[in-house]
Structure 1
Amino acid sequence: MSTINPAPASTCAPSSPQLKAILDAINAGDTAPEAFAALPLPEAYRAVTVHADETAMFEGLATREKDPRAALHVEDVPLPELGPGEALVAVMASAINYNTVWTSIFEPVPTFAFLRKYGRLSALTKRHDLPYHVIGSDLAGVVLRTGAGVNKWRPGDEVVAHCLSVELEDAAGHDDTMLDPEQRIWGFETNFGGLAEVALVKTNQLMPKPAHLTWEEAASPGLVNSTAYRQLVSRNGAGMKQGDVVLIWGASGGLGSYATQFALNGGAIPVCVVSSPQKAEICRAMGAELIIDRSAEGYRFWSDETTQNPKEWQRFGARIRELTGGEDPDIVFEHPGRETFGASVYVARRGGTIVTCASTSGFQHEYDNRYLWMNLKRIIGSHFANYREAWEANRLVQKGRIHPTLSRTYPLADAGQAAFDVHRNLHQGKVGVLCLAPEEGLGVRDSALRERHRSAIERFRNV
């Protein structure tokens, strides 16, 4: 069994002399690839983990009362073996996603079930089946080593990583890699994730780091930007077109803030649903005009735990038509799940599309099927993105067409608090985590492009 050692309670310094040398080489900005390749690797690195022997710690508690801070550990773990087609990446920054929260509260199931299943696949994947799970599905950093068979990437490359892990040994994955039977989410269904000083990824997860962004800004779009792109823009999702009315739940949040940008960039008409005046202001700052503050307007889609309230669906639909000049949504961008799904099916136009992922308010959805079948509506399930979709989403960030929605950054030692904030919806946009980066603001290589877009890049910081 691999051993783990607690890290200091609070520190931003690298956890070993080897990682200090790696950080110095990155900060120098002009270190040659051969020099990176020659740097010695550490035997261990600091990471955010959950433990297999603690998965029952929240039994009997309601979801909201489960505290990620109790389950997430920051400790030193052994460096994993590098396999063919893989890379070890020095992680400068990462970010919190809702799958971080699910992992930390062991819902809907402890992630160790995923690691055990993956570990049975091959001798190499057995590395992932450990009594601890290094979590995190975003990163921005620098390639340290690549495994056999890697040609595109080399040590010293500044990269971000998307979180799709695939084996591609089955024909099903060769049209859309999300359909690979062995498709997994890195850092959630695999080990050695991005909330750490070093991460292990497949090299077909790597993409160029946007040169005008800091490390923490570059780390924040990955999962949610790619997810929103597939869900809303891609032909595998809703296939949004110019003029579409798009209802976006949580439009200032980690996922919705990118959907709002894609809608505006693509000539669609976003109707942004938010939960506070502050979040409404963020949507206006992004350029959205049609906004519903669901808290201020008091929508209650459920009369009690088991009974939905169709009159509230009708009131909500009337409010949308009031804003749009009488039009119903062509597309409903769904991710809250149980709380909102009945309303989403109801308000979509005749022949419209409800595209869904996540279900942060509950996985068991209920809706009145009469409004679906009799009005020829469609429900599309959407899960993360394939490599091409992730690459296109990242390309838009590189070109300054889509901007990070980072609102706050925590040191690695405080990742538990960062996950708690996301769990309790105390955040705006995305919450970042500094890993090897000693402070915010580092890593910008294209200052001119940054200056052209600074206000948009820092928009969520100014709320």
Structure 2
Amino acid sequence: MQEIIDTILSGEAVSKDFANLAIPEAYRGNVLLKEDIGIFDGVPSADKDPRKSVHLRDVPTPELGLGEALVAVMASSVNYNTVWSSIFEPVPTFGFLERYGRRNELARRHDLPYHVIGSDMAGVVLRTGAGVNAWKPGDEVVAHCLSVELESPDGHGDTMLDSEQRVWGFETNFGGLAEIALVKANQLMPKPPHLTWEEAASSGLVNSTAYRQLVSRNGAGMKQGDNVLIWGASGGLGSYATQLALVGGANPICVVSSEEKAGICRAMGAEAIIDRQAEDYRFWSDERTQDPKEWRRFGKRIRELTGGEDVDIVFEHPGRETFGASVYVARKGGTIVTCASTSGYMHEFDNRYLWMSLKRIIGSHFANYREAWEANRLIVKGKIHPTLSTVYPLEQAGQAAHDVHRNLHKGKVGVLALAPREGLGVRDEESRSKHIDAINRYRTDRH
């Protein structure tokens, strides 16, 4: 493994040098163990601790198949699906691996008593399988997490509709929180040359998800001038939605939970901000009863910030806690576009405000190939910037997941893999210098 690291860090190696490197028989990966299913039985979700379920282990390097690539992972990041995986909710991920393993002989590699997790990475291609022409050993890449088979006609108009669509590192094995990752080669995209490894690794899942949800015609189809309500606007997903709204000429109304997070939104260029903690919005009277008076108070506050207008789009991801309010505050004919549901999947809302006002609810999940590529292109061009706040070593991936689970983080939490330290991997210093303040916006230790 050290030879791989040295070759990457040399800055002089060419494709042939990488092709001649020996592939290690094993590598270190952060895994969940099938034998651990049940360790959190009876424990409330909020108290389940990823530090108890995420283990760094040596695992065998998987066989490389048709259309696949082995990538030396320099850095990765934590997403909320990492949290779900680590606390075995809503179901243990081993069921996904078992079903995938029944598909064919090649897929059977994924059905193991351990699951290497992680749905983001930045690194260097080590090997490509038969049929791969777009990438070669030595290419510096990031990966999106869409894994599809495309043998069904359902996916050929939108790959997210493929009947065998999966999220890599969540519904497949050999994910990115490891020293080596196995991906389908069509998951690979160019690494933004002005970013470090850890910065480049932090955006793939959330930026692509926000792009489809907000910008794409498959999502809300945002246009110039739209008022967009963004829940958790400084967080991992919301921070990209806020940037996309600003770059796209829309007016983001940013909902945050502290003055510090409000300051981050202002630094991004947002002007309309609601600190829901300071203004003490309580959308539920108790765990079973919502309070419509709070919906109305919230809607009034939004109109104060927009010059009397309701929002065209609600960017929803908290779920149960906020969904009733989201349906209420959208304008007549407006759109509520939803993914995730980090506060609960069982949404409740007053349907009168939906049907009588001709509003739409759109479900959105990750992004198709084209959307992921377009989202990454915006980062390459310096239009959208990573929102990395904290970086952990590979050995502390469980702690990183714990931070995200307890909402102790801002933006994205990164994890170094083969990169020996932060700050490596920049190939375009001139472009970086133009955007350095935006790149470091979430890095309080860099100001």
TM-score after normalising by structure 2: 0.99
Aligned residue for 1:309?
A: 291
Aligned to 2:11: 29
State, as a whole percentage, how many aligned pairs show the same letter: 76
1:440 paired to 2:422: yes
C-alpha distance in 2, partners of 1:54/1:408? 28
Paired position in structure 2 for 1:242: 224
Of 338, 342, 364 in structure 2, the residue corresponding to residue 382 of structure 1 is 364
Runs of 5+ consecutive residues of structure 1 not aligned to the other structure: 1-18
Alignment of 1:354-373 (within 5 A): 354-373=336-355
Instruction: Tell me which of 87, 90, 95 is aligned to 1:108.
Output: 90
The equivalent of 2:61 in structure 1 is 79
3-state SS, counterpart of residue 460 of structure 1: coil
Deviations 1:282-336 (A, max 9, x none): 0000000000000111011011111111111011000000111111110000000
Aligned to 1:350, the other structure's residue is in SS state: strand
Instruction: Choose the corresponding residue for 2:279, options 272, 294, 297.
Output: 297
User: Aligned equivalents of 1:323 and 1:150: distance in 2?
Assistant: 51
The aligned amino acid for 1:190 is: T
1:371 is displaced (CA, Å) by 0.3
C-alpha distance in structure 2 between counterparts of 1:213 and 1:67, whole Å: 32
Q: CA RMSD in A?
A: 0.5
Correspondence for 2:264: 282
Deviation at 1:30, TM superposition (A): 2.0
Q: Which letter maps to 1:431? A: V
Give the residue type in structure 2 aligned to 1:143: V
For 1:111 and 1:127, the matched residues in 2 are separated by 15
How far off its partner does 1:29 sit? 1.4
Q: Which residue does the alignment assign to 1:9? A: none
Query: What is the aligned counterpart of 1:325 among 292, 307, 315?
Result: 307
Residue in structure 1 matched with residue 393 of structure 2 by the alignment: 411
Q: 1:201 aligns to what?
A: 183
Residue 269 of structure 1 corresponds to which residue in structure 2? 251
Map residues 125-204 of structure 1 onto 2, 5 A cutoff. 125-204=107-186
Aligned length: 445
Provide the rounded CA distance (Å) in 2 between the counterparts of 1:77 and 1:345.
46
Instruction: Please name the residue that 2:78 is paired with.
Output: 96
State the alpha-carbon separation in 2 of the partners of residues 32 and 331 from structure 1: 47
DSSP-derived class of the 2:264 partner: helix
**Aligned counterparts of 1:365 and 1:112: Cα–Cα separation in 2:** 26
Unaligned runs of 5+ in 2: none
Match of 1:70 in 2: 52
Q: Match of 1:334, as an amino acid?
A: E
State the Cα distance separating 1:32 from its structure 2 match. 1.0
Residue 120 of structure 1 aligns with which residue?
Answer: 102
Shift of 1:389: 0.3
1:344 aligns with 2:326: yes
Q: CA deviation at 1:462?
A: 2.4
Partner of 2:213: 231
> Partner amino acid for 1:301?
F
- TM-score, normalised relative to structure 1: 0.96
Confirm whether residue 39 of structure 1 aligns to residue 21 of structure 2.
yes
Residue range with higher mean Cα deviation, 28-37 or 429-438: 28-37
Distance in structure 2 (CA, Å) of the matches to 1:30 and 1:166 = 35
Alignment-mate amino acid for residue 409 of structure 1: V
CA distance in 1, matches of 2:292, 2:252: 23
Deviations, residues 125-169 of structure 1 (Å, cap 9, x unaligned): 000000000000000000000000000100000000000000000
Q: For 1:95 and 1:177, how far apart are their aligned partners in 2?
A: 24
- The separation in 2 between residues aligned to 1:101 and 1:55, in whole angstroms, is 14
Q: Partners of 1:438 and 1:347 in 2: how far apart?
A: 48
Distance in 1 between residues matched to 2:236 and 2:11, nearest whole Å: 30
Q: Secondary structure at the match of 1:236?
A: coil
Amino acid at match of 1:126: R
Distance 1:43 1:292 in 2: 52
| Aligned twin of 2:43 | 61
Q: Does 1:423 align with 2:405?
A: yes
Q: Equivalent residue of 1:371, what SS?
A: helix
- Kindly report structure 1 stretches of 4+ aligned residues shifted beyond 4 Å: none
1:392 alignment partner, SS class: helix
